[in-house]
Chains A and B, each alone.
Chain A
Amino acid sequence: MALSAFSFPTYVSKATNSGPHKSSPVTSHFFGAALFSHFSHKLDNHQLKKRPNGVCASLSERGEYHSQRPPTPLLDTINYPIHMKNLSIRELKQLADELRADVIFNVSKTGGHLGSSLGVIELTVALHYVFNAPKDRILWDVGHQTYPHKILTGRRDKMHTMRQTDGLSGFTKRSESEYDCFGTGHSSTSISAGLGMAVGRDLKGRKNNVVAVIGDGAMTAGQAYEAMNNAGYLDSDMIVILNDNKQVSLPTATLDGPIPPVGALSSALSRLQSNRPLRELREVAKGVTKQIGGPMHELAAKVDEYARGMISGSGSTLFEELGLYYIGPVDGHNVDDLVAILDEVKNTKTTGPVLIHVVTEKGRGYPYAEKAADKYHGVAKFDPATGKQFKSSARTQSYTTYFAEALIAEAEVDKDVVAIHAAMGGGTGLNLFLRRFPTRCFDVGIAEQHAVTFAAGLACEGLKPFCAIYSSFMQRAYDQVVHDVDLQKLPVRFAMDRAGLVGADGPTHCGSFDVTFMACLPNMVVMAPSDEAELFHMVATAAAIDDRPSCFRYPRGNGIGVELPPGNKGIPLEVGKGRILIEGERVALLGYGTAVQSCLAASALLESHGLRLTVADARFCKPLDHALIRSLAKSHEVLITVEEGSIGGFGSHVVQFLALDGLLDGTVKWRPLVLPDRYIDHGSPADQLAQAGLTPSHIAATVFNILGQTREALEIMSFKS
């Protein structure tokens, strides 16, 4: 029977297009593969594989997760939210199940964020059913839970390109689709943006709805409160959906198990959930207002207000006080409830800001995710049937892990070393530190600004705080770095992970600006390791610098394989001293950070052309190694500074020094290689580097161009290595 699947795909597609009611029984199960042929070309080879027993039954009944695309007859009829409008609630539930299966299948093929997307399947379906995107604005905070949203809004056929070069972005992106109202990636921005859209709508006299979905983790950031406070004051009609899955920390686990939620807010939220409603009292209050009611609206309202304040859950008053009308908690996996509530709120003429507290479970519907400690928050490609991820084995570990080990080694000898991170225990590697020193690791929630000032406070008391914050998230805390740390010259150490281009996460997570904004600060020591051994030494150096703030940056990715210092304990470097790696002539490449590796590769390329370059590792951007730069400038024709950062960073500091020192008045030519003046889209790290023009080939070609050997430059660039 399975073979006959291939013989009439056209019949099948006609049947499905006529709608779920009219599709014959035959189409739904057997020919799942054929159904998709007109949606996704790559399934052509799937049709050739015979299914295990000839029947492709639904996932639920057989409990299997096919490596082939699961059958989704109803989802196949939905390209845009408008196609959902005629579905019944029962069909919506079916759609939710199919959507879940589709998300699991897609993420298993591309990798990405799974747990969060699974938690909001029903919510996404309900939102698109009730509201009319794109006229109605639906904003998703952070954006990593928008995979089902993208599937439902016309991007299903591109889901296999998720997070890849020229493919779909892993977060919402305005330029990708009109259904993505606001670009996200850093958390806690949706309410602010939503309020802006609501107020803009009011000013323009329009009548659409604005819905902002925010998670309980994102609620730990101050901006969410700033936004809610303002929303309560302005009283503009908008809906805030608090997606509460009790996670509040990200990735959502320590090494030894799930992390209890951080902060006092989460216990307030859980009290809300478990609060036994004093319904009897409410009934009494309602009865009283009913009696008073009738023409005495205001009095009744006041009675009700007092009653609510008195007897409602101790957490809901927080939102009420901020001016948002609280509704909930609501079961976030029940499409009935969600549709009913959203419909009611939508049809109420004037609501002001409303907060709907929706309770969901991260990773819901995929047992392996539900049971995992981190709920499969971010996964590599995996096998849906077993949940096992295909992690490629590398010879070396990531810079993140090396940093954690280095810090642990420092903390072993010095009991004043403490570590602070902002809800990124896994991402910064500080989960390892936490396991070793449980009382010396602080997770402050998604609150970078607070983390920096908190570290400043710790430094005042004589401790040695290491603030591990991603380079792009440090942007949030910049004023605190300047005003609270640098101005007062407090010895806070900043460990900026994910510096430079970061690959699949894209420009929202790209750390291009940290050299620029750190090196311009008067008291800051700015350094960058060129490999993992240097990283160990720089951690030791930072621990040793006790009279001023310092920072170091390292990229995403694995080490190159140099020998590590014994016992993971680095040796403090002499501040403001770089090193020469290769002695050559005519042309000098002065690299900063891991760009030095690209310089070494470029020099290897040029060796074969008979050019022997000098390659130097600057190590410090501030204070610069003046002696090194002087010697390079005086003994070479060309000096090229290379860094994976924007304009205004290392290269600018070098040329400033060259100019002031009179070295530019002589014969040396200086050229900078920096990230271009545009945002580099997400993709594989190699592709991004190529787009940025910082690959070894690019560096070599630059050298040739300056030396006037343009033909060789072209040759190197066209050569596909």
Chain B
Amino acid sequence: MRCSSYGLIIPGSESRFLTTTTTPTTNKKPDRFPRIYPTSVSFGSLKVKAKLNDAAGGTATATAVVDESKELSFYDLLGIPESVSLVEIKQAYKQMARKYHPDVSPPDRVEEYTQRFIRVQEAYETLSDPGLRALYDRDLSMGLHLAFSARRRQQNDVDFQVRSEWRNRWQSQLSELKRRSMNKDAGGNISWAARMRRKRDGLSQEL
């Protein structure tokens, strides 16, 4: 059947119809903003970055080098103190990149250096973007030094971070609403609607 060759999705099956074609990797959260156009068009630059990072993440988690450099923060990786300007970050990144680039790394330690390079690049990407940097700094200050793979997931979707904050907030607001509603029609409440509600409930109870 011709449809299968186009990779069309059948409704009722697991994958979603009429949403993005980004094949979800295991560590990526479900797409928060279903777009109805494919990611290969220039509109979704964030998604392209996602693909890049996901690809990098796939290889990174495989090696054991990860465990060692996991402890290093982005600032350590670039060899800079925490309070530096963008220019210095750029310089540090360039230095590191030149040192660890696969093409110039010593042949026996290519893999290790490549991992390092990827990590350095990621560090630069995060720290050069003021929004991402702010998030990262905050995480660092809260003492949450997440593993790179987890961090990458959050970096990929800055909005996701914000949205999850929102979700926590409104969830707590909803539980408060529920609690408030217990006392809403208590005797002390003399608002017009409270009186009407009491009357209505009183009548229905009689019935």
B156-185 vs A, CB cutoff 8 Å, 1 = contact: the mask equals 000000110111111011101111111111
Whether, in the assembled complex, B200 has its beta carbon less than 8 Å from a beta carbon of chain A, the answer is yes
Contact, CB under 8 Å: B34 / A97: yes
| Bound complex: CA A25 to CA B9 (Å) | 9
Contact, CB under 8 Å: B196 / A203: yes
Contact, CB under 8 Å: A20 / B16: no
From B16, B169, B176, contact of A279 by CB (8 A): B169
B200 to chain A, nearest CB (A): 5
| Bound complex: CA A29 to CA B2 (Å) | 11
Contact, CB under 8 Å: A55 / B3: yes
Chain A residues whose CB sits within 8 angstroms of the CB of B162 once the complex forms: 274
Contact, CB under 8 Å: A63 / B37: yes
Contact, CB under 8 Å: A277 / B170: no
B184 to chain A, nearest CB (A): 4
Contact, CB under 8 Å: B177 / A354: yes
Interface of chain A residues 643 through 697 with chain B (CB within 8 A): none
Give the total of A residues in contact with B, Cβ under 8 Å: 69
Contact, CB under 8 Å: B180 / A325: yes
Contact, CB under 8 Å: A334 / B163: yes
Contact, CB under 8 Å: B177 / A351: yes
Contact, CB under 8 Å: A277 / B183: no
Contact, CB under 8 Å: B174 / A30: no
Interface of chain B residues 8 through 35 with chain A (CB within 8 A): 8-12, 16-21, 32-35
| Bound complex: CA A472 to CA B7 (Å) | 54
From A60, A233, A328, A344, contact of B18 by CB (8 A): A60
A23-38 vs B, CB cutoff 8 Å, 1 = contact: the mask equals 1010011100000000
Contact, CB under 8 Å: A367 / B43: yes
Contact, CB under 8 Å: B36 / A28: no
Chain A residues whose CB sits within 8 angstroms of the CB of B11 once the complex forms: 20, 23, 28, 73-74, 94
Contact, CB under 8 Å: B20 / A60: yes
Whether, in the assembled complex, A698 has its beta carbon less than 8 Å from a beta carbon of chain B, the answer is no
Q: Write the chain B residue with the least CB distance to A122.
A: B34
Interface segment among A296-304, A451-459, A477-485: the answer is A296-304
A340 to chain B, nearest CB (A): 8
Contact, CB under 8 Å: A93 / B193: no
Most buried by A among B16, B20, B169: B169
Contact, CB under 8 Å: B38 / A60: yes
Whether, in the assembled complex, B203 has its beta carbon less than 8 Å from a beta carbon of chain A, the answer is yes
A310-349 vs B, CB cutoff 8 Å, 1 = contact: the mask equals 0000000000000001111111011001000100110011
B143 to chain A, nearest CB (A): 13
A212 to chain B, nearest CB (A): 16
Chain B residues whose CB sits within 8 angstroms of the CB of A350 once the complex forms: 181, 184-185, 197
Chain B residues whose CB sits within 8 angstroms of the CB of A534 once the complex forms: none
Q: Write the chain B residue with the least CB distance to A353.
A: B193
Q: Write the chain B residue with the least CB distance to A308.
A: B176
Interface of chain A residues 227 through 258 with chain B (CB within 8 A): 233-237
From B8, B170, B180, contact of A61 by CB (8 A): B8
Whether, in the assembled complex, A412 has its beta carbon less than 8 Å from a beta carbon of chain B, the answer is no
| Bound complex: CA A523 to CA B63 (Å) | 86
Contact, CB under 8 Å: B33 / A20: no
| Bound complex: CA A199 to CA B162 (Å) | 37
Q: Write the chain A residue with the least CB distance to B191.
A: A235
Contact, CB under 8 Å: B16 / A94: yes
Chain A residues whose CB sits within 8 angstroms of the CB of B181 once the complex forms: 348-351
B15 to chain A, nearest CB (A): 10
Q: Write the chain B residue with the least CB distance to A327.
A: B173
B38 to chain A, nearest CB (A): 5
Chain B residues whose CB sits within 8 angstroms of the CB of A63 once the complex forms: 37-38, 40-41
Q: Write the chain B residue with the least CB distance to A54.
A: B2
A37 to chain B, nearest CB (A): 19
Contact, CB under 8 Å: B37 / A234: no
From B34, B41, B169, contact of A93 by CB (8 A): B34
A240 to chain B, nearest CB (A): 14
Contact, CB under 8 Å: A58 / B8: yes
Whether, in the assembled complex, A286 has its beta carbon less than 8 Å from a beta carbon of chain B, the answer is yes
| Bound complex: CA A93 to CA B9 (Å) | 15
From B33, B173, B180, B197, contact of A202 by CB (8 A): B197
Known: A25-B10, A97-B34, A344-B174. A55 touches B2 (CB 8 A): yes
Q: Write the chain A residue with the least CB distance to B7.
A: A61
Contact, CB under 8 Å: B3 / A345: no
| Bound complex: CA A312 to CA B184 (Å) | 21
Contact, CB under 8 Å: A298 / B192: no
From A59, A73, A236, contact of B193 by CB (8 A): A236
Chain A residues whose CB sits within 8 angstroms of the CB of B6 once the complex forms: 55, 57, 61
Q: Write the chain A residue with the least CB distance to B173.
A: A327
Interface of chain A residues 346 through 372 with chain B (CB within 8 A): 348-352, 354, 365, 367
Whether, in the assembled complex, B194 has its beta carbon less than 8 Å from a beta carbon of chain A, the answer is yes
Contact, CB under 8 Å: B18 / A94: yes
Contact, CB under 8 Å: B174 / A58: no
B158 to chain A, nearest CB (A): 12
Whether, in the assembled complex, A553 has its beta carbon less than 8 Å from a beta carbon of chain B, the answer is no
Most buried by A among B8, B182, B194, B203: B8
Chain B residues whose CB sits within 8 angstroms of the CB of A327 once the complex forms: 170, 173-174, 177
| Bound complex: CA A233 to CA B18 (Å) | 46
Contact, CB under 8 Å: A341 / B17: no
Most buried by A among B17, B19, B176: B17
Q: Write the chain A residue with the least CB distance to B184.
A: A350
A565 to chain B, nearest CB (A): 47
| Bound complex: CA A60 to CA B15 (Å) | 13
| Bound complex: CA A325 to CA B177 (Å) | 8
Contact, CB under 8 Å: A333 / B33: yes
Contact, CB under 8 Å: A58 / B17: yes
| Bound complex: CA A337 to CA B171 (Å) | 10
| Bound complex: CA A20 to CA B13 (Å) | 11
Chain A residues whose CB sits within 8 angstroms of the CB of B12 once the complex forms: 20-21, 23
| Bound complex: CA A65 to CA B17 (Å) | 16
A472 to chain B, nearest CB (A): 34
Interface of chain A residues 81 through 104 with chain B (CB within 8 A): 90, 93-94, 96-98, 100-101
From A58, A235, A297, A331, contact of B166 by CB (8 A): A331
Contact, CB under 8 Å: A297 / B182: yes
Known: A90-B16, A202-B193. A62 touches B172 (CB 8 A): no
| Bound complex: CA A354 to CA B173 (Å) | 11
From B7, B176, B203, contact of A304 by CB (8 A): B176
Q: Write the chain B residue with the least CB distance to A304.
A: B176
Contact, CB under 8 Å: A345 / B174: yes
| Bound complex: CA A273 to CA B163 (Å) | 10
| Bound complex: CA A286 to CA B168 (Å) | 14
Chain B residues whose CB sits within 8 angstroms of the CB of A365 once the complex forms: 35-36
Contact, CB under 8 Å: B163 / A97: no
| Bound complex: CA A277 to CA B7 (Å) | 43
Contact, CB under 8 Å: B193 / A352: yes
Chain A residues whose CB sits within 8 angstroms of the CB of B203 once the complex forms: 205
Chain B residues whose CB sits within 8 angstroms of the CB of A96 once the complex forms: 34
Apart from A25-B10, A328-B170, A348-B177, 14 more pairs, CB < 8 Å: A23-B11, A54-B2, A57-B6, A60-B18, A60-B36, A93-B16, A97-B17, A199-B193, A205-B203, A234-B191, A277-B169, A279-B168, A301-B179, A333-B32
- A-B contacts, 18 listed (Cβ < 8 Å): A29-B3, A29-B8, A58-B8, A59-B37, A60-B37, A63-B40, A98-B18, A205-B203, A234-B193, A235-B192, A276-B165, A304-B179, A341-B170, A345-B174, A348-B181, A349-B184, A351-B177, A365-B36
Residues of chain B touching chain A, judged by Cβ–Cβ distance below 8 Å, are: 1-3, 6-12, 16-21, 32-38, 40-41, 43, 162-163, 165-170, 172-174, 176-185, 189, 191-194, 196-197, 200, 203
Residues of chain A touching chain B, judged by Cβ–Cβ distance below 8 Å, are: 1, 20-21, 23, 25, 28-30, 54-55, 57-63, 73-74, 90, 93-94, 96-98, 100-101, 198-199, 202-203, 205, 233-237, 274, 276-277, 279, 282, 286, 297-298, 301, 304, 308, 325-331, 333-334, 337, 341, 344-345, 348-352, 354, 365, 367
Q: Which 7 A-B pairs have the closest CB atoms?
A: A235-B191, A350-B184, A97-B18, A236-B193, A202-B196, A235-B193, A60-B36
